[in-house]
Amino acid sequence: MTKPKTIYLALCVVGAIVPYAIFLPWVSQHGLPPGLLVREIFANRAAGSFAADVILSSVAFWAFVAIEGKRAGVPRLWLPVAANVLVGLSLGLPLFLYMRERRLERGALR
């Protein structure tokens, strides 16, 4: 059976590649104008609901990282938060789960 740590690491790779495969062509066409980016993210109610969901999920994720990361003794908790901000929840969440799993494997759960 595949270890959870291996699954989380694979999800990190996919979670980093897929969003950027979609986003980088947009950036190459438009650059990074913040106003246009926000307008397009919230272009309609459907897109806006997805954006709001991701933003709120990210805030909940940051709380989870702070609380669970401290409880489990996971070092460098800034890494999954930075991954979430720079790439998205698709990288930040599996990265944190990978880091937590490594810590659990070492028997460090307090």
How many Å from the N-terminal Cα to the C-terminal Cα in the chain? 26
pLDDT tens per residue, range 53-107: 999 999 999 999 999 999 999 999 999 999 999 999 999 999 999 999 999 988 8
Q: Domain residues of the chain, as ranges?
A: 4-104
* CA within 13 Å, CB half, 81: 14
Q: Is 70 left (phi over 0), alpha (psi -120 to 50) or beta?
A: alpha
- Check residue 106 and give its pLDDT: 87
Alpha-carbon span 59 to 63, nearest angstrom: 7
Q: What percent of the chain has pLDDT over 70?
A: 97
Average pLDDT of the chain? 95
Alpha-carbon span 27 to 45, nearest angstrom: 23
